Each structure stands twice: as C-alpha cells, then as structure tokens.
Structure 1
Amino acid sequence: MQDDINNQEESEFENHKEVESQETITKVTGMYKEWFLDYASYVILERAVPAIADGFKPVQRRIMQSMKDLDDGRYNKVANLVGHCMQYHPHGDASISDAMVQIGQKELLIDMQGNWGNILTGDRAAAARYIEARLSKFALEVVFNPKTTDWQASYDGRRKEPINLPVKFPMLLAQGGEGIAVGLSTKILPHNFNELIDASIKILKGRSFTLFPDFLTGGIVDVTNYNDGARGGKVRVRAKIAQLDKKTLVINEIPFGTTTSSLIESILKANDKGKIKIKQIEDNTARNVEILIHLAPGISPDKTIDALYAFTNCGISISPLCCVIQDHKPVFIGVSDILKISTNNTLHLLKRELEIQLGELQEKWHFASLERIFIENRIYRDIEEESTWDGVITAIDRGLKPHTTHLKRAVTEEDIVRLTEIRIKRISKFDIDKAKQLIESLEDEIAVVKNYLDNLIEFAINYFKSLKEKYGKDKPRLTEIRTFDDIEATKVVMRNEKLYVNRVEGFVGTSLKRDEFVADCADIDDVIVFRKDGVMMVTKAAQKTFVGKDIIHIAIFKKSDKRTIYNMMYRDGRSGPSYMKRFNVTAVTRDREYDLTAGNKGSVVLHFTANPNGEAETVGVELKPLAGLKKLKWDIDFSDLIIKGRSSKGNLITKYPVKKIEFKSAGTSTLKPRKIWFDDTVQRLNVDGRGELLGEFTSKDKLLIATQSGKIKTITPALTTHFEDDMVVLEKWNPNKPISAVYYEGEKEKYYIKRFVIDTPDKEELFISEHPKTQLQIVVTDYRPNVEVVFSKRNLDNLVIDLEDFIAIKGIKALGNQLTEDKIKLVNRLEALPYTPEENEIETEEEISKDDQPRLF
C-alpha cells in the first residue's frame, strides 16, 4: 500500500515538473515575442534614431527644452542643466552630459564656456560642474516657439515636454548624427550650413540641387559614390598631407571620425609592421592640427604620402546610412529627401507662425475698435442704472450694436467682459487720435502679414537668406571635395623584407637567407615564378613556399602591368619543334599553375627574358648538325614578333633540334610612347585621359617642373608623383629649350631677368636667391618670351621687352641682367613672339608633339 502511495506521489511530481517545464517554455516565448519587441521599439524610437521632424534624438530634444526652461541670457552650469533635464529624461546624468557635450562640439546650438573637449585631439570635456552653457542666438531663433509646439506628458507625468521642437532649419543634416539601435543603425554625415540654406532655397524655387558632406575636422573627401547618403553609398576621406621639406611631412587636417591620437597610433602601427618607414612623429596640435612626420634617410616623401593613405587612418572609408523616425516608424531615405521634408516643414511652421500672428493682430484690432466704440460713444454710462451683472452685459451689448457693423467678427460676451475691466483712469485719458493711429498701425501690420501669407514661398526664401546673412559668415566649407585615384598598396608599401630563391629545389621565401637574393618585398606582395618546364605561377610572398624545381625567373608581380613583356623560346615536347612568343601577364589566379608551352609532356624553355619596358633583344639560334641541314646558325630579332596573350602557342622557329640559343644584343622598347595627362583636380599624373595632356613619353623623356619658390627640376614621370601646391610650370622637358625668369632680388632690391638651360637633369636647383624678400614674378619656357613692365610712376609709359634680345642664355646660378633702375609696380606676361627654329634644331622640334605644350599655373 505504501509503495502504491509512493509511486502515485512520484507520478504526480513528474507530471507537475512537466507542467512547470511547459509553462516556463511558454513564458519565455511570450517574453521574446512581446518584451523584446517592446524593448527594440523603445530603443529605435526613443533613444538611438533621430526624428526627421526636428532632427533630434529624444535626449537631445530634452536637453534643448531644459536649456530653454532655464534660459535667462546668462551661462548655466552644465551640471545644473543636466539635473533639470532629468525631469524629462528617464536615464542617468552621464548620458545627458555626454549628449550635451556632443551637441556643443558641433558649434551650432550651444554657446560654450570652459573646457568642452577637442574633436581634433579626442580630449574629453571637463566635468559637468566645471563647464557652462547657454543657448546660441541661432538656436533661440530657429528651434523654439511654444505657440507652434505640440506637447506631451513627460515620463512621470509631472511635466509637459515637446513631441517635436518646431525647428525651422535642416538641423539633422547640419549636425549629422549616428546611433545603434536593435536591428538597425543610422549614420548621417554633417553638411555645410550655407550649402544647406542654398539648397533649401533651390527647393523652394523648384530647382535641382546636390548635397555633399562637410566636416569640422576638414580634410579631403571623395563623394563619387556618396549615393545621396542612402544605404549602399560610400565616401572616402583623407587627411591633408603636405611636404614640408625633403625629410618631413606635415598633416594639417584629419579625416572625419578620427583624432590626432588615433591617427598617430595608426601610423606607428603601420611603421611597426613595416608598411611605412618613419623616423619620428611630433604632435604640435593646439588650436589647429599639426603633425610632423620625420622620414628615415633615403625614403621618398611622395611614396610615403600614398602609403599613409593606404595603410593608416590618414585615408578611411565611411558608409553613410540615413535612417530617421518618420510617423513613428524608422525610414531609410536619402539626404535630398530629408532636406525636402525639412524645407517643407519649415514652410509649414512659418505659415503657422504667420497665421498665429495674424490672428493675434486681428484680435488686437478687434478689441481696440471695441474699446474706441465703447469710450467714444460713452456706452459705459448705460450701465450706471443697472443693478445686476446680466443687466450690465445686456446694456453694453445693446449700446455696441449700432456701431459694430464694420467689425470682422461678432461681439462675444468675453469681449464685453473685457470692456468692463477698463479702468476709469484710462477712460478719462482716452485720446481718440491715438486710438485711430493704433488701429491704423494694426491694419498696416495685418496687411503686411497677409501679404506674407499670399507670398509664402518668397517669405520663406527671405527667411533662409536672413539666416545665412546672420550666421553663415563664419561657416565656410572646411572639407575639400576631390576625386581620389585608387592607391595600389603593392606600389607604395615599404619593402623591408628580402625575398630569396632556391632555383634547383624550387623554394621561394623570406626565410631562405642562405640562398639567392631576389628583391626587397613586403608581406602583401605577390611573387611571379617561371620554371624550366614552361610553367608559370603567382603566389603570395611568405617565409617559405614550394613552387616547383628548376626556376628560371622570379620577380615581384605587378598586377595589370602591360609594359613588362616576356620573351620566350621553348621546345614542344621531348623532340618536337621549337617556338618563340612574346606576352605579358596582367592578371592570374593565385597559386594556380599556367602552362606557357603547347602543353606536351617534356617541353622545355630554351630562352627567357623579362623586359620592364617591352625591350626586344636579338638572339642567335644554333641547330644540332643533321644530314641534309645546310644552315645551322642564324639570328632572330624579337622585335619582329607581335606581342600576344600568354596562352598563345607562338611562332615556329624550327622543327629541327636546337643545340643552343645565344644572346646577341639588347634591343629598345617596342611599345608605343605613353601619353600622360595631368589631372588638376587630384594633382596627379595619369594615363586614363583625365585632365590636360602633357605629351607622349618614352623611357628617356622627362617632365620639367618649376615652382613659385624658385625651384626647378626634371623628373621621370611616374603616376605616383606628388606635386607641390606652388607649381607654376609643368611640361615635357626639351633640353634645348631655354627657361626665362623675371624676379625681384631681395638683397639688391631690384628686378632681374635671366635665361638658362638645365645642365644637370634629375637634380632640384634654385634659380633665384634664397633671400627672404626675393620673389619670382614670371617664369616661362617660350623661345621668345615677351613681358610688359608697369612702372610705379604714372608719368612713365609701360615698357615691352623681348627677353631673347634682352639677355643671352647663361648658367642657372647667374644673377641675370637688371631690368631697370626705375621702381616697378608689376610685370605682366604677354603672348610670345614668333620663333623660327635653326636648322640644327628642326629635327628636335619635329620630335616634340604638338600636344606637348607647357602647362602654366
């Protein structure tokens, strides 16, 4: 019996456990479906995402309302403002304080006092008890109007807070904003104050417009793929880097979203990893950014600039994502739509304000007219005999009726009550003329407001123009818009490792230090390998990689390189005919073997060269002696062969066995001269047809560069070259073409003219003195340059000078000939005089393309 009871109890216990387990599972499911969704909705709507109506998140809106509540024109302690805001905001003081600092650092809505941190260095603001704030004049003008504000109860029901502030400006786009919610995020980039106003005016006028971001940190931005700030877009932002001297770079502006600290840290990490090579970094940032980067000896500043963009936070990508709250829902739209909605909202608010103002003026006019009737017609005497309140109201109403036909609305009991409240002293001192003047002035004001309402678009345009005039003077665009060239990391990386090869055993890598040295490399480089069996392979540079035995050529692989041409002779199979081919390798799949022969087993490479500029050598072919063969030797010039794809079989050399291939002589490049353009937008050379054509260049041609500081040099044109901002001449260099300069010599305080040619190519030289007052006026490369001299004295006529007749060609270090003893106001460059080349120069002239004209800045 006891066992049955125990079994029954155990059974009931198990059933109870099962029921509890089922109830628990059901409860968790309900929590997930209801509580989590409630939490997600709360985070999205009440914390992380700004409203499109006023551009504020709830905490920001409550901060602004708190500052308005306490506004008396003086600064308030931020701690006091935070405490007051906690009446509206159901979260901690730290979140409110941080949000207020972020608003203040955008320098638009809050007038700050004290240490509010630094967006450039990343320094935090002082504690809330030490810093002060008040609303800016701009905020007071565009953010608040209790008459047009819709209110709701605060979280505890004790106060009223605005549902949305009546902001009459595209605040969201001006400040930007970002937040992470549950399941979505938002990242709206800031835009320029004046550009937003201009775009809003264009919207009101029905014109098209474009908007691009602008950052307080300055820098350079490429907005090619901005995509109107919507999902899928991207902007690239770069620091402004300049060359201070040959061994020093300076960063004056940083990308949005970075600080000088994070920027320097990224540079040091890149240096530690060997991507760049620097000696020292100095951070002299105070009010403005100044980061000095001292380069190690022998390091190219131009290449380092590109490397900084490629491997550090000096160049970053930002993916905007415009998510806003509209009609209590998150919506993904573009910045153009945000601005259109904001502009229309501003138009609506201005209309409401005008309508409210019109109603108030009409009420003033109505009561002023009633008051005049009441006093002028002595209706107040009609109530002397009345003993009841109803009698008083009736008597006044009866007395007014004959005189109120011109009023705009009926007289109400409330109007009559107000008339009874007029004091005897006011009645006794009533002036009919002043009353008429008041009514007339109100009628004028009513007419003005009605005119504004009838011409609401024009009124809104003038409103935006007044904002720009008042507050836009100190808000220029800070971020320069450019188009960036893609930087290939392999072209700018610092190659601080060494690549070795064991040709016989077939290993390549950086750890094979006892084997043959190939080249300096980096860990991001690819290595191209050719083997004796005619197989080619590209693999990543590593410590040790097996690529196959009998390596005949190994090098760092350059992707998309069409100018490196490979010349190859091979035997097809063990006893087949021999072929020759020329090809390039532009793109391959890494670690895949490519057979460059006809594919038969036993094929072998007889001759192979890699030519960086498409050179074509001459080789001698010698056959094995066979019965009936009369010609066993002959020469072959690879320049007679057309460059084809790497998979081509090639041209037949001979069907007989080859004894040996002998190198005869090196050839010249068979590639066409390369056309090079200069794109002024990005200050870079390119071969894509962007910008101005500088000419066609062979491997021997150079560029001539002269700067306003008086420096001149020739360089081999490279697409990675950086140009100085004060460049005044950029052209294809003709060694026989003289260079003419007019300059003011600081030490002698006189103007001089000199003409010279460059005797030492590839060396930068100064062709004017280093005196601080020395200033270059004109530098030209015309054969017969012509200038006009304007004198300080008005009685002296302008002087036109042919520089070729004025002075002969001298050395680059020569002082030159003095221009004149009279004081000069300025020197103007005129159109060059006609020039006929000498017989010995005609050939040189014909070699110069008509497109090779000098570029003058």
Structure 2
Amino acid sequence: MDLDNQDNLPLNGEEQPKEQLIRVTGMYKDWFLDYASYVILERAVPAVEDGFKPVHRRIMHSMKDLDDGRYNKVANIVGHTMQYHPHGDASIGDAMVQIGQKDLLIDAQGNWGNILTGDRAAAPRYIEARLSKFALEVLFNPKLTEWQLSYDGRKKEPVNLPVRFPLLLAQGAEGIAVGLSTRILPHNFMELIDASIKHLKGKSFKLFPDFPTAGEADVTDYNDGMRGGRVRIRAKISQYDKNTLAITEIPYGTTTTTLIESILKANDKGKIKIKKIEDNTAENVEILIYLPPNISPDKTIDALYAFTTCENSISPLGCVIIDNKPVFLGVTEILKRSTDHTLSLLKQDLEIRLDEFEEQWHFASLERIFIENRIYRDIEEQETWEGVIKAIDEGLKPHIGHLKRAITEEDIVRLTEIRIKRISKFDIDKAQQKIEALEEEIAKVKHHLDHLVDYAVSYFERLKKEYGAGKERKTDLRLFDDIEASKVAMRNTKLYVNRNEGFIGTSLKKDEFVTDCSDIDDIIVFTGDGKMMVTKVDAKTFVGKDIIHVAVFKKKDKRTIYNLVYRDGKNGSSYIKRFAVTSITRDREYDVTQGKKDSKILYFSANPNGEAEVVTVYLRQVGSIKKLRFEVDFADMLIKGRNVKGNIVTKYAVKKIELKEEGVSTLKPRRIWFDDSVKRLNVDERGELLGEFKGEDRLLIITQNGVAKTIKPELTTRFDDEIIVLEKWVPKKPISAIYWEAEKEKYYVKRFLIENPDKDELFIGDHEKSFLELVSTDYIPQAELVFTKARGKDQRANEVVNLEEFISVKGIKALGNQLTTEKLKQINLLDPVPYEPEVVPTEELEVKDEETVESNTPNLAEGEIRKSSQGESQTKLFDE
C-alpha cells in the first residue's frame, strides 16, 4: 500500500477529490498596497512643500474660491470643500476647526472651541470664517500654482499651494498611516523667521518647539525632532498662598479637564494629598489646588509632576511626503527645504513680474510710436486685413530700434484695437511717464533677482514686522530636575511589624505600628542576629525573627548613620562600629557582623543626622574581672564601611549595654549648591555654592516684590524667577534696601534684620506701585546716585552714599529715611566698603571622616577604644 497517497484511496468504490491550495494574491495584494499608499499620501502625512495634508489644502483652496472679504458660514465652506475632498463633512469640519484653533491662517468668528479646556466648537452652521491677511499673503498665487483635476474631474485643485513660509513647523502635524506615523511639533512664528533668515545668510540655527498651551519644556533630548527624540513638558505650577497651589499653564496635549481628572485619581490612590480643587479657567488657565494643613507645597508640586499629567513626555517623529514618498527628516532639514522652496517661489514670482513689466513696457512703447507717428492713418486706404497688418508693420519699422524684442502679429492686432477716443486724448508726456515708471519697476525687479537672498531676507523681515505682534514664545525652555517618585509620594499607608515572628507589612494591623509610608517605599530591617535586608513595602513579608529596627529606606542616604555593638560568635569578643547604608540589592540578606554562628547585636541605634551617643557597658562577673562597668563614646569611632569588623570593646562577656547620654552630629556640615538652570538646591556640586549648612542653618530669600524670608535648606524646595537674593542666612547681618514709596512718591533707605524667621515679611510699602530698587546683604554697602538734570541748571555730580552711615538698623516694618529730595535718573549699587566681622571662637566637635580599614582590626585592651592604625587608608565620606 502506498501510504504517501492513502488520502486519495477509493472510498465505497469512489476516488476522493484532491485538496487544492489556492493562494490569495493578485488583486488583494495590490489593493492593500494601494490602500496603504492612499492613506500615507492622501490622508495622514503632510507634504514638505506647503506643510498641508490634502484635506487642509483643499479647505484653504475652497476658502480662497469663496473669498470676498466677508465671513462665510463654516458649513458653506465645508460643503464647498466636498467638491475637492472625497470624504464626509464631519472630517472636513473637524480639520477646519483644528486649523482655526491654531490662530494663523483662519480669521474665526463664533465659538471655535477651547484648546485649554477641551470644549468642542459649535456646529458648522453657527460659526464663520474667512482667510487671515497672513494666509492671503503667503499661501496663494495662481501663477505659481500647479493644478490637477479633482477626484471627479469636474474641478481643478492645486497639487501644492505656493506657501512662502515654513508653515509645517509653525502649525505642527500629527497623523497615523499604515505602517508609519508622523508627529511634528509646533514651533514659534518669530523663531522660524529668524532661523530662515540665518539659513539664507549661511548661518547655523537651532529650533525648539513652542506650544499654544504654553507651559514649560525640557528640550535636552529633542534630537532635532527626529526618531528617538523626546520632549518633557510640564504645567506651570506656583504657590498661590501658604496652602494653595495655582496651575496657570498646562502641558501640550492635555486639557484642564484631563489634568484635573489625573490629579483627582492620584489623590484617590494616595499619591498626593489635596483638600479640594477648583477650575476657574476662562480665557486663561487657572486651576487652584487647596492643600490640607501641614502638607508641603513644594513636595506636592513635585508629586504632581511625578504622578499626574502635569508632566508628560512627547516623542516627535518628522515624517513628510517628498516626491510622493514618505521621508523622515529633522526640523532643521525641514526648515532648510521650506526656506529654499520659498526662495525659489520668490524668484519665480519676480521672473513672472519681470516678464509682465517688460510686456507692458513693450506695448506702451509700441502704442506711443503708433499714435505719436500717426501710423494709424496708414490703414485708412487698406481694403484687406492683411493690408492693414502690413501697413502698420511697415510704419513701425523705422521707430523700433530700441525695443527689446521683435514685433509679432499679436502686437499689431492689439494696436488695431485701440479706440479712436483714446487716440484723440493721447498725452505724450503721460505716456512717457508711464514708460519711465515701468522702466523703474523693471530695474527694481532685476535688482531683486540679482540680489535674491537679500530680497528674501527683507521678505521674511516684513512678515515678522507685519504679523509678529502677539506671537512671542509661550513655552518656557528650561532644564527639568529628575523627580524620584519615592521621595515625593505621600505616605498613604501604615507599616506594622511583628518582631518575634519576623513579619513586616501594611496588613498587620493587630501588631506594632512602625511609621507612615507610601506604597512605593523600600523598608530597611535589622535583626538581632546581625542580618540586614531592604525590601519593598507589601501587605506581609517575612524578613527574619527578632527584628530590632524597621524604617523607610532612603537610597543614597549618607547622613543616616547606624551605631552598633555586636558579639562575634557565641563566645567571641564584642566589637563596635559605625556605618551608613547607601546602596544595596533589594531582598538580599546582608551581615553587619562577621557572619559567625550565634553572633548577636548587643546595642543598636539609627541616627538620621550622624549623632554619636555615649553608652555604658556592663560586664558579667566571671573570674577575676575588676572593672565591670565602663563607658564608650561613639564619637570616638570613625564612620566606616558596612563590612568592616569594627574595633574591640571587650573580650569578656557583656551583661548589657545602656544609653547614658544622647549624642550630637559628628558629620561635616552639608555643602549645598543652587542650580539656576533647574531652580533647585543640590549636594552634587551643580551651580553656585551657597555654603556649608548645619542642622539649624537657614537660607535667606529676598524676592523682587520686596518680601524677605528664611527657610530650611530642603532639597525638595522649588524656587521661582522672582528671587533676587538667595544665600546662607547670617542672623546678625543687616539687610539694606532702597525702595520707591508710591504713596509719598520718594525713594527711601532702610536697614533691618529678619525678626521672624518662619514668616514672610514685606519690607517695602504695600501700595501696588511701590517697588524695590535695590537690595544688599553686605555689611557696608554703597550706592551711587545719578541725578536728573534740572531745566536751566548745570548737571549735578553723582553722589556716593554709604548706607551703613546713612541709617541705623531699624525694625523690618520701619519706613526708613528719605534717600534724597532731588530727582534721580538712576541708582547703582557699588562695591561695598571692606569689612571684617568679629569672629567669636566656638568650641566645635571633631568632625569624623569615613575610613576604610582591614577587617582584622587588632584587639584592644579591656575597656579601651582607639582609632585604626596609621597604615590604613582613609577616604572622606561626607563632602557635602
């Protein structure tokens, strides 16, 4: 039997039909390719020449067809566009609203929706539109337009509009096609013109997005708008008052509605904590967020960026149609192509105008010759049309030597069409003036053609002058600081511990409460046998029995120092050590002892600012031990690595260890910098060094509106552009200010100290027109007064005022002394007088540095603690 063909064996005496595999090819394959090509070329991706998708181009062409200077109903424009666009009225209406909301090409009237709130436009029958003056100037020129038949062959439509402006980058474009997409972000009108001018002049330029919703953008990774780039965008959030935040600008791609929904969702999940939210948006965005008492506004702002759509990320992708093919380009190349195309169109326009002027000059010259030399009389005796043409041709020949081209029969026919009335009223002088005016125009056009780049530059400059009003940049470009979600998440859950059984978690509500935490925190745990672990917050996690310490773990935290004494093995010596935990592998078990069996922690403390306490060690009475109690000061120990063995406390059995005296920090003061690019404090040596700060030190802040305050230097604090003084606060150092008192219309000087460090103090007049002229925190500042020249008097010489001598230190609410009775032109702050403040010696603790030591630290005598030997290398741990 042929097993290979057994499927075809007879069944009941009949042969079974063979199965046939039919491949679906041909028209299905072609149809899909045709569909994909159609979507890419005719629907989703804009052309690089004019920046339009077909639907937008057809809308503009229809509006030009209907243009009579008056508004048209949008429904009428949509219906007219359907003669060119083979799709429904809804898609055309939506596309038209998108153009109108960009406020560049369409002069809109009525309710066109709101890009800020997401409200839709009214129905097309209720709203009206006409082309803007800008659109009429840069979009249309029938003489430069290439035409094609519309989809039904009844009309002609432009292949591309002769756009003489980088419109694609000004409006941006988004589209999803078959197998590809495009997302070109909008750019600033003025900056595009400036970039075009730079390109024409052969200079380099850079372009960055500018969004109609304003907000803030970090374009560090923009990558010229190409694949792989990224733009981070944020809402503009400020502190309205002590317990209120105000959102006044929103990220591109969001609306106030979606933004508020994301905030409420984050609040419901416990990521942020708000009391209520109000949307007062009308013409401008105003969302007020009310915070509960004791909630940090700065931390809440960071949390809004971390957990809501107040911060988004956009990935641009510059895909355009070139020669009927999709091509990926960066915004620099798109602008260069657009500018070069504009230059080409301007050249074509000049050449057309030159031809027209030369034709006008040619016929005006012929007309003058024809009438001035009475050649029209030569045709009176002619009986045939050919004779008329020949007579005129013969009559013109003696007078045409200066013409720029030969005379054609068409020229002669035009001469025969001149009316007798016009011949009778012909004025030779006016005719000559017209010819001369045409010659001037011809010379001007030729000059522009010879200096085409200069002509294009002046064209762009005119566009900027005529249409640039109100088109300044809306989106602020700045660097964003990276916000760690774990640091700004609200503590929305509670952590519990069962020390004996070794469980921690948020569901152990019957056990011991540890702390509030967030559901994205890490937790650090120490157990009595010397094990340490860091694990994620969860409902219930086993970490090891005999838990002695549980806390929220802060990554890269160099200031939390752990002090401990442990017994090495069952009967081994006791050791003392101090260390920080800065980096770990989550859920991995670490030994803080030497790992011997039956090792035990005898004393443990966690110190958030490196405190070093004094403890009393009690020994067991074994043999002939004489000294059963002695004290150990952790301040005598260096801060070392987590794995070091430590220094010997005693080789005898320890009965117990008790705390005798609370300690103070042994860490160096933190060195803090201010990074102006992101307006944040840091300890990473970025920006300007503000100084070294101990626990009680504060920052002095003075703003342009005349408010002075001090704050603790928290790294989460946000600063705005109004700050004019930011430095370490010296409480006894006076602040000097010169301000304009609007009620008295005079300049005043005052010197004062901060009286209430925890309160914002206004130190200038509260009149709305009062303003701060200058402020100084120098001990002896000097100001130069430049006087206004009085009428009929000599110019008074500039005067230098020593402010320390001018006025004594008074209260912050004092008015101060009048600066001068003369009118001032300018006040300049000069270099201060040198001053050496008195240095009061203070007794300071010795600052400890981290030291890397061998694990086999030598034994010490009973009760003795000493530092590691000189041969061991030392490295600093806390430079900040």
**Does TM, normalized by the shorter one, top 0.5?**
yes
**Counterpart of 1:138 in 2: which secondary structure?**
helix
The answer for the alignment partner of 2:604 in structure 1 is 608
Out of 688, 713, 720, the position equivalent to 2:709 is 713
| 2:749–2:819 contact (8 Å) kept in structure 1 | no
Alignment of 1:499 onto 2:495: yes
| 1:793–1:823 contact (8 Å) kept in structure 2 | no
Greater shift in the superposed pair: 295-304 or 49-58: 295-304
Alignment of 1:264 onto 2:263: no
**CA deviation after TM superposition for structure 1 residue 176, in Å:** 0.8
| 1:782–1:832 contact (8 Å) kept in structure 2 | no
Question: Residues of 2 paired with 1:205 and 1:608: CA distance?
Answer: 72
Distance 1:816 1:367, change over 3 A: closer
Q: How does 1:100-179 map to 2 (within 5 A)?
A: 100-179=96-175
Question: Residues of 1 paired with 2:651 and 2:770: CA distance?
Answer: 74
The answer for the alignment partner of 1:184 in structure 2 is 180
Question: Residues of 2 paired with 1:46 and 1:762: CA distance?
Answer: 64
**Counterpart of 1:783 in 2: which secondary structure?**
coil
Question: Residues of 2 paired with 1:635 and 1:734: CA distance?
Answer: 38
Greater shift in the superposed pair: 331-340 or 125-134: 331-340
The answer for the alignment partner of 1:852 in structure 2 is none
Q: Deviations over 1:151-206 (max 9, x none)?
A: 11111111111111110000011111111111111111111111110111000111
**Counterpart of 1:667 in 2: which secondary structure?**
strand
**Counterpart of 1:537 in 2: which secondary structure?**
strand
Out of 321, 324, 328, the position equivalent to 1:328 is 324
The answer for the alignment partner of 2:284 in structure 1 is 288
Out of 276, 297, 303, the position equivalent to 1:301 is 297
The answer for the alignment partner of 1:33 in structure 2 is 29
The answer for the alignment partner of 1:854 in structure 2 is none
Alignment of 1:311 onto 2:310: no
| 1:536–1:595 contact (8 Å) kept in structure 2 | yes
Distance 1:745 1:374, change over 3 A: closer
Alignment of 1:693 onto 2:689: yes
Alignment of 1:736 onto 2:756: no
Question: Residues of 2 paired with 1:768 and 1:44: CA distance?
Answer: 63
Q: How does 1:53-68 map to 2 (within 5 A)?
A: 53-68=49-64
Question: Residues of 2 paired with 1:60 and 1:172: CA distance?
Answer: 12
Greater shift in the superposed pair: 540-549 or 629-638: 629-638
Distance 1:811 1:353, change over 3 A: closer
**CA deviation after TM superposition for structure 1 residue 603, in Å:** 3.3
Question: Residues of 2 paired with 1:821 and 1:373: CA distance?
Answer: 81
Question: Residues of 1 paired with 2:33 and 2:13: CA distance?
Answer: 41
Question: Residues of 2 paired with 1:352 and 1:556: CA distance?
Answer: 72
Out of 65, 68, 77, the position equivalent to 1:69 is 65
Q: Deviations over 1:492-547 (max 9, x none)?
A: 22113211111111111122222222211111212122222332222221222222
| 2:215–2:235 contact (8 Å) kept in structure 1 | yes
Question: Residues of 2 paired with 1:69 and 1:647: CA distance?
Answer: 82
Out of 218, 225, 229, the position equivalent to 1:229 is 225
Question: Residues of 2 paired with 1:366 and 1:710: CA distance?
Answer: 73
The answer for the alignment partner of 1:617 in structure 2 is 613
Greater shift in the superposed pair: 563-572 or 55-64: 563-572
Alignment of 1:682 onto 2:669: no
Greater shift in the superposed pair: 821-830 or 366-375: 821-830
Question: Residues of 2 paired with 1:763 and 1:408: CA distance?
Answer: 86
Alignment of 1:550 onto 2:546: yes
Q: How does 1:560-579 map to 2 (within 5 A)?
A: 560-579=556-575
**CA deviation after TM superposition for structure 1 residue 300, in Å:** 1.7
| 2:492–2:519 contact (8 Å) kept in structure 1 | no
Question: Residues of 2 paired with 1:463 and 1:735: CA distance?
Answer: 60
| 1:777–1:827 contact (8 Å) kept in structure 2 | no
Greater shift in the superposed pair: 647-656 or 730-739: 647-656
Out of 78, 81, 89, the position equivalent to 2:77 is 81
**Amino acid in the other structure paired with 2:420:** I
**Amino acid in the other structure paired with 2:71:** Y
Question: Residues of 2 paired with 1:288 and 1:60: CA distance?
Answer: 28
> Size of the alignment, in residue pairs?
832
**Amino acid in the other structure paired with 1:127:** A
Question: Residues of 1 paired with 2:429 and 2:518: CA distance?
Answer: 93
Greater shift in the superposed pair: 790-799 or 137-146: 790-799
Distance 1:595 1:37, change over 3 A: farther
Distance 1:655 1:734, change over 3 A: same
Out of 430, 440, 445, the position equivalent to 2:426 is 430
**CA deviation after TM superposition for structure 1 residue 302, in Å:** 1.6
| 1:755–1:816 contact (8 Å) kept in structure 2 | no
The answer for the alignment partner of 2:758 in structure 1 is 762
The answer for the alignment partner of 1:853 in structure 2 is none
Q: Percent same amino acid among aligned pairs? A: 70
**Amino acid in the other structure paired with 1:128:** P
Distance 1:833 1:661, change over 3 A: same
The answer for the alignment partner of 2:866 in structure 1 is none
Greater shift in the superposed pair: 798-807 or 205-214: 798-807
**CA deviation after TM superposition for structure 1 residue 42, in Å:** 1.1
**Amino acid in the other structure paired with 1:53:** E
| 2:612–2:662 contact (8 Å) kept in structure 1 | yes
**CA deviation after TM superposition for structure 1 residue 85, in Å:** 0.2
Question: Residues of 2 paired with 1:747 and 1:371: CA distance?
Answer: 77
**CA deviation after TM superposition for structure 1 residue 341, in Å:** 0.6
Question: Residues of 2 paired with 1:238 and 1:531: CA distance?
Answer: 44
Question: Residues of 2 paired with 1:612 and 1:37: CA distance?
Answer: 66
The answer for the alignment partner of 1:487 in structure 2 is 483
Unaligned runs of 5+ in 2: 1-9, 846-880
Greater shift in the superposed pair: 580-589 or 104-113: 580-589
The answer for the alignment partner of 1:202 in structure 2 is 198
**CA deviation after TM superposition for structure 1 residue 755, in Å:** 4.0
**CA deviation after TM superposition for structure 1 residue 632, in Å:** 6.4
**Counterpart of 1:616 in 2: which secondary structure?**
strand
Question: Residues of 2 paired with 1:744 and 1:377: CA distance?
Answer: 82
**CA deviation after TM superposition for structure 1 residue 350, in Å:** 0.3
| 2:250–2:256 contact (8 Å) kept in structure 1 | yes
| 1:617–1:667 contact (8 Å) kept in structure 2 | yes
Greater shift in the superposed pair: 246-255 or 700-709: 700-709
Distance 1:767 1:428, change over 3 A: closer
**Counterpart of 1:668 in 2: which secondary structure?**
strand
| 2:354–2:445 contact (8 Å) kept in structure 1 | yes
| 1:270–1:311 contact (8 Å) kept in structure 2 | yes
**CA deviation after TM superposition for structure 1 residue 564, in Å:** 2.0
Greater shift in the superposed pair: 723-732 or 646-655: 646-655
**Amino acid in the other structure paired with 2:296:** S
Alignment of 1:834 onto 2:844: no
Distance 1:57 1:745, change over 3 A: closer
Distance 1:778 1:441, change over 3 A: closer
Greater shift in the superposed pair: 212-221 or 596-605: 596-605
Distance 1:739 1:423, change over 3 A: closer
Distance 1:842 1:146, change over 3 A: same
**Counterpart of 2:611 in 1: which secondary structure?**
coil
| 2:780–2:835 contact (8 Å) kept in structure 1 | no
Unaligned runs of 5+ in 1: 1-5, 848-857
The answer for the alignment partner of 1:819 in structure 2 is 818
Distance 1:634 1:35, change over 3 A: farther
**Amino acid in the other structure paired with 1:325:** I
Distance 1:237 1:155, change over 3 A: same
Q: Deviations over 1:241-273 (max 9, x none)?
A: 121211211111111111111111111111111
**Amino acid in the other structure paired with 2:128:** E
| 1:281–1:293 contact (8 Å) kept in structure 2 | yes
**CA deviation after TM superposition for structure 1 residue 687, in Å:** 2.2
Alignment of 1:348 onto 2:347: no
**Counterpart of 1:261 in 2: which secondary structure?**
helix
**CA deviation after TM superposition for structure 1 residue 575, in Å:** 4.2
The answer for the alignment partner of 1:585 in structure 2 is 581
Question: Residues of 1 paired with 2:740 and 2:464: CA distance?
Answer: 43
Question: Residues of 1 paired with 2:815 and 2:78: CA distance?
Answer: 72
The answer for the alignment partner of 1:374 in structure 2 is 370
RMSD: 3.2
The answer for the alignment partner of 2:856 in structure 1 is none
Q: How does 1:404-483 map to 2 (within 5 A)?
A: 404-483=400-479
Question: Residues of 2 paired with 1:122 and 1:692: CA distance?
Answer: 42
Out of 495, 505, 508, the position equivalent to 1:509 is 505
